[in-house]
Amino acid sequence: MSLAGQIVNLIAALLLLVSFAMLSQRRVRDLVDLFMIQGALLAAATLVTAVATGQSHLYYSAALTVALKVIVLPLILRRVLRRLALETDVELLINIPTTMLVGIALVVVAFNMAVPISQLAGTITRGALGIALACVLLAFLMMITRRKALAQVVGFLSMENGLFFAATSVTYGMPMVVELGIALDVLVGTFVFGVFFFRIRETFDSLDTSHFEKLKDR
Amino acid sequence: MSQFLQSPLSSILGVVAFWLALGTIGVALGRDRDGVRFVYPATALGGALIAWLAGTALGADPVSLVLPLGLPDLPFHLRLDSLSAFFLFLLGLAVTGVSLSAAGYFRAGSSPSPGLTCLQYHVFIAAMVMVILADDAYAFLVAWESMALASYFLVTTDHRHEEIRAAGFLYLVVAHVGAIALLVCFGVLQGQAGSFTFDAMRGVTIAAPWAGVAFSLALVGFGAKAGFLPLHAWLPEAHPAAPSPVSALMSGVMLKTAIYGLLRVTFDLLHTQASAWGVVALVIGLVTALFGVMFAAVQTDMKRLLAYSSIENVGVVLGAIGLAIVFRAHGMASLAALSLVAALYHCLNHAVVKSLLFSATGAVLHATDQRSLGRLGGLIHRMPWVAWLALVGALSLAGLPPLNGFVSEWLLLQSFLFSPDIPDGYLRMLVPLATAALVLAAAFAAYVMVKFYGVVFLGQPREPSLETAHDAGPWERAGLVFLAVWCVLLGLFPALVIRRIDAVTVQLLGEGLGDAATRDWLFLTPMATERASYGPALFLAVIASAVLATFAYVRVRHHGRLRRAPAWDCGYPAQTARMQDTAEGFGQPVKQIFEPFFRIERVIPDPFDRAPRYWSKTEDRLWYWLYLPVARLVAAVSAQVARLQHGRIQWYLVYSFVTLLALLIFIRL
């Protein structure tokens, strides 16, 4: 395997590690830091792929990732955190060891899923697809097990990271138009969520999503 | 370019674009009510143009056109052939008359937002034209749904009333049940033909079981729009709720688009018909007709009465179509042509007459603010224009010669009288029964019209406020006169009309009535001179001369011996409005005789009650037997589904997570 391929695999492994770290992290503030690291790793992986394959649009992708996921989104999230004074612990629905065990099972499932697809893909980074899929599922799991709305937003963004990584590893990234569109969506989505946080807190005096039960029909 | 303008199809599309532009102008004019109502005469001009263009296209070779709209690989296919030309002609006539009177109707207080109503009105008629022109399933359904939605918004124009919103909801639900049936029907046809274009469907002959499935689905789908039993429940709710011009178009034209669709699928897209389909259609049609007319007889709201009468008329049309299918399946093409001509003629008559009568109720509603028959009466003195023109419509709907209603009923009866020739013993036994049902329905229709006309226009006013009722304005008069003139023309010259309609039967059945039936413009001889013929002009001449002779005789004999006496003084010197027959009273015999068909709630006061109150409510049994159980079932199922709704985001995420995992694993397997 080429050097670039090995580096990408290493970064992929780190990404998976970060995903597990996010799953086990209690503090929302540290969750945002982990999200930033994940973004940086993703940008690095894209950059390495770009250098190794000479696909010029991947450079733009990497730059976009750095700008959006390492700088802008963490800034917005930290601002929201400060404004809402939310730097305390995250309340979990399921305890951390159980979550981790479920996470391991998900990784196994993800790798199993990825086998036929990565055999079809002709890219140097195809081995990373399983990890990318695992990142998506783990982020999803994180969204399910957290109570605070903010943690769910981080989970959502992290899921998008996993998808992005999957696209890079299988086909050297999506077409630029699609990538730009998704980047914009994520940015706008974060703003909308930001607004919602304030509205939610105004309504329920808390960001705990279990209060949403009151919104039911009956 | 000139080629483009010469083709009638493109000119019709031009009118559609013109209508849509008028709708936008209506929105732009917004709440300026008097500005908005002058859009409608322009609409009427477009309607007349369409009627004229369609008249020229009747019998001409089919014209096709592909519009670059729609799905990437399925643009809108349009086609103008004799069948669509006939229904466009009908639409053009009705739209012309109704739009003229709409210019008078929408003058004040009729709609909270006249601009939007104007837009929806134009979208509605444009969509109906597109339904008739569509030549692929996709374009057809797009137009069909636009028509349904536009009419839904028109029905709920006065959405501040709870019962109007409920009527609109019921209409929307039934319309969508029908649309789903149509979607599946076209799916079945597409599955056999391999393409969504009607051309491809025409090209293949579909085997018996699938053709039967397609026909049944079409009957359900179009039946929901036409109001065949048991999918009729929306009709008497939605028609009274809508503004009168809209009720006129819904009853006069929209129900006919359903008939059009049924004919298109049954005779044009499917090539062979089974006799059993015809029997089903015949039975449903006649049951619908009897049901409609019986309920019309006991109504106390004039628009509901007309709505039930519409149910009756589409039932008669369906019965005629059923008979045509039976004849066709037994290879009796010329008799099939006769029943089909009767069905088409009845569609045309009903479109004109119902537009006339609904527009007349609009004028009455405006003048009196009353819809209840118990509060009207004697309007012939206050509103002579509306009353005399409505009389033309009422006589025509009652099926009296020499007006148009008689022609189609006579033709239909003729085709029923020929049915002993059918080589099937059971069918021969069914037919006398069906004929009896048809005749009963026709007789009741006359009864209903006597009730409608007598209670609204004759006698004495039942409310003091009616004394000040004013006659319709010039626009409403123009619209009513236009429609009434067509009632007379269609009645007096049936041979000329049928010569045109015959092009449709030739297209659908491959054989028409032929020249012999219509060669003589004075006489209509559908089969053979020795069997039966009908000369409406002669009939009119005889009636007119008899009336004139009587008049002349009385004038010569009794002239100068004028004697003035108090009116109605035969033992009733103090006659009041409360002494005349009421709508309830007039319908009472029907209610008594056919009691098992109605669900009647009566509260009869105690004989010693000092302040007695009597009321009774007549309802549709089907509502309790079919609609409410279905509604309860849906509510129960959705209550079960609602258990999924916890209100906890985490659980919702788990649902999507599990779905995602399941799908991934499914793909892996």
From residue B595, alpha-carbon distances to B300, B452, B559, B583 in Å are 17, 21, 51, 17
Q: Is residue B416 part of a domain?
A: yes
Q: Is residue B22 part of a domain?
A: no
Q: Does the pLDDT value for residue B110 go beyond 70?
A: no
- Return the residue in A120, A159, A213 with the most chain B beta carbons within 10 A, the one to mutate for interface testing: A213
pLDDT in tens, B122-144: 999 999 999 999 988 889 999 99
Q: Please state the rounded mean pLDDT for residues B369-379.
A: 82
Q: Does the pLDDT value for residue B567 go beyond 80?
A: no
Q: Looking at the structure, tell me whether residues B443 and B504 fall in a common domain.
A: yes
Q: Looking at the structure, tell me whether residues B605 and B537 fall in a common domain.
A: no
Q: Please state the rounded mean pLDDT for residues B41-63.
A: 87
Q: Among A136-140, B455-459, B573-577, which stretch is predicted with the lowest mean pLDDT? A: B573-577
Q: Is residue B390 part of a domain?
A: yes
For B565, list phi and psi in degrees, rounded to 5. -145, 155
Place of tokens 């086998």: A115
pLDDT band at B223 (very low <50, low <70, confident <90, very high): very high
Q: Does the pLDDT value for residue B216 go beyond 60?
A: yes
Residue range(s) defining the domain that contains residue B657 = 600-668
Chain A contact for B649 (CB, 8 A cutoff): yes
Q: Looking at the structure, tell me whether residues B355 and B414 fall in a common domain.
A: yes
Residue range(s) defining the domain that contains residue A120 = 3-215
Looking at per-residue confidence, does B249 or A77 come out higher?
B249
- Return the residue in B653, B655, B666 with the most chain A beta carbons within 10 A, the one to mutate for interface testing: B653
Q: Looking at the structure, tell me whether residues B293 and B420 fall in a common domain.
A: yes
pLDDT in tens, B375-431: 888 888 888 888 999 999 999 999 888 888 888 888 888 888 877 777 777 777 788
- Residue of chain B with shortest Cα separation from A112: B668
User: Rounded to a whole number, what is the distance in Å from the CA of A88 to chain B's nearest CA?
Assistant: 21
Q: Is residue B475 part of a domain?
A: yes
Q: What is the DSSP string of B480-546?
A: HHHHHHHHHHHHH-HHHHHHHHHHHHHHHHS----HHHHSSSS-B-SS-TTT--B-HHHHHHHHHHH
Looking at the 3D structure of chain B, how many domains does it have?
2
Q: Among A35-49, B61-75, B538-552, which stretch is predicted with the lowest mean pLDDT? A: B61-75
Q: Does the pLDDT value for residue B149 go beyond 90?
A: yes
Q: Please state the rounded mean pLDDT for residues B258-268.
A: 91
Q: Looking at the structure, tell me whether residues B633 and B506 fall in a common domain.
A: no
Q: Is residue B188 part of a domain?
A: no
Between chain A and chain B, the number of residue pairs with CB atoms below 8 A apart is 48
Q: Is residue B85 part of a domain?
A: no
pLDDT in tens, B579-626: 778 888 888 888 888 888 888 888 888 888 888 888 888 888 888 888
Q: Please state the rounded mean pLDDT for residues B203-223.
A: 87
Q: Is residue B445 part of a domain?
A: yes
Residues of B in contact with A216 (CB under 8 A): 645-647
B648·A210 Cβ contact <8 A: yes
Contacts of B585 (CB under 8 A, 6+ apart): none
- Work out whether strand B74-80 and strand B63-71 pair parallel, antiparallel, or are unpaired: antiparallel
Q: Is residue B19 part of a domain?
A: no
Q: Does the pLDDT value for residue B650 go beyond 80?
A: no
Q: Please state the rounded mean pLDDT for residues B521-541.
A: 74
Looking at the 3D structure of chain A, how many domains does it have?
1
- Residues 609-648 in B contacting A (C-alpha not used; CB under 8 Å): 642, 645-648
Q: Does the pLDDT value for residue B2 go beyond 50?
A: no
Q: Digits of tens for pLDDT over chain A (218 positions)?
A: 578 878 888 888 899 999 999 888 877 788 889 999 999 998 998 888 888 887 788 888 888 888 888 888 888 888 888 877 765 655 666 778 888 888 888 888 888 877 777 677 666 666 678 888 889 889 888 888 877 777 888 888 888 888 888 888 777 766 766 777 777 777 777 777 777 777 777 777 766 666 666 666 55
Q: Percent of chain B scored above 90 by pLDDT?
A: 28
Q: Chain A: which residues have CB within 8 Å of chain B?
A: 93, 109, 112-113, 116, 137, 140-141, 143-147, 149, 152, 209-210, 212-218
Q: Looking at the structure, tell me whether residues B332 and B405 fall in a common domain.
A: yes
Decide if the complex's ipTM is over 0.85. no
Give the per-residue pLDDT at B292. Answer: 92
Chain centroid to CA A48: 19
| B608 neighbors B598 (Cβ within 8 angstroms) | no
Name the residue facing A113 among B642, B649, B664 (closest C-beta): B664
Q: What is the C-alpha separation between B284 and A26, in angstroms, rounded?
A: 69
